[in-house]
């Protein structure tokens, strides 16, 4: 897959990983929603941020065992009882129409006191926004709908944003936000 080979070149993984480590992120279990090939699982595992990970996908083509501790499964195969210390959404939210429902659904798998990582394309600058949209029109045949960092904070009201980073590579203007959940998840609206 050519796209899978190109992706590490346009995603600021090193900076993002360094930022997460600096924030103290280090967990046993991770759920990567819309994980694609499992690039983030692979790199987080290699960096020692996660000890094990499950990626979920709607597409069967990504289904695979990455290593003895990490695998990509179909969304429908995720056990309803599974709990994770980290739930991450990397470039998947902009593909989803009903973002509140999508987040809510997967955050039922988050442990109390757990972490949420969201990496998104930053739509704030017109030119980068439209060049990236063009990319998705060609590659995914979809007009994506990004969410700004401020909207994301509203979507995750009740969670505490502990990190926020941003980096552009070519016309790919990335941002990421790392959140921590309160010990009592019932406090989340």
Ligand X SMILES: C[S@@+](CC[C@H](N)C(=O)[O-])C[C@H]1O[C@@H](n2cnc3c(N)ncnc32)[C@H](O)[C@@H]1O
Residues that bind ligand X (CB under 6 A): 7, 33-36, 39-40, 56-59, 75, 90-92, 95-96
Strands 110-121 and 64-67: unpaired
Alpha carbons within 13 A on the beta-carbon side of 49 = 25
- Closest distance of CB 168 from ligand X, Å: 16
- Closest distance of CB 86 from ligand X, Å: 14
- Closest distance of CB 187 from ligand X, Å: 27
Q: Which residue, 15 or 182, has its beta carbon nearer to ligand X?
A: 15
- Closest distance of CB 55 from ligand X, Å: 8
- Closest distance of CB 27 from ligand X, Å: 18
Which pair of structure tokens corresponds to residue 124? Answer: 């704030």
Q: Which residue, 102 or 179, has its beta carbon nearer to ligand X?
A: 102
Q: Which residue is nearest to ligand X (CB)?
A: 36
Q: Which residue, 29 or 132, has its beta carbon nearer to ligand X?
A: 132
Q: Which residue, 117 or 156, has its beta carbon nearer to ligand X?
A: 117
Q: Which residue, 36 or 165, has its beta carbon nearer to ligand X?
A: 36
Question: Can you name the residues that pair with 88 across neighbouring β-strands?
Answer: 32, 117
């Amino acid at each position: 897959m050519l796209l899978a080979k190109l992706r590490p070149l346009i995603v600021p993984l090193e900076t993002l990983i360094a930022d997460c480590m600096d924030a103290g992120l280090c967990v046993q279990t991770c759920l990567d929603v819309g994980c694609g090939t499992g690039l983030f699982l692979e790199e987080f595992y290699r960096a020692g941020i996660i000890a094990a990970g499950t990626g979920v996908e709607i597409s069967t083509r990504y289904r695979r065992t990455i290593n003895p501790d990490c695998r990509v499964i179909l969304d429908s195969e995720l056990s309803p009882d599974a709990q994770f210390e980290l739930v991450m959404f990397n470039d998947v939210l902009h593909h989803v129409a009903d973002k509140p429902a999508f987040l809510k659904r997967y955050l039922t798998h988050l442990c109390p006191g757990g972490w949420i990582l969201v990496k998104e394309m930053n739509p704030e600058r017109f030119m980068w926004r439209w060049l990236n949209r063009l990319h998705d029109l060609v590659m995914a045949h979809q007009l994506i709908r990004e969410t700004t960092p401020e909207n994301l904070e509203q979507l995750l009201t009740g969670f505490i944003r502990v990190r926020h980073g941003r980096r552009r590579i070519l016309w790919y203007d990335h941002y990421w936000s790392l959140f921590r959940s309160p010990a009592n998840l019932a406090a989340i609206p």
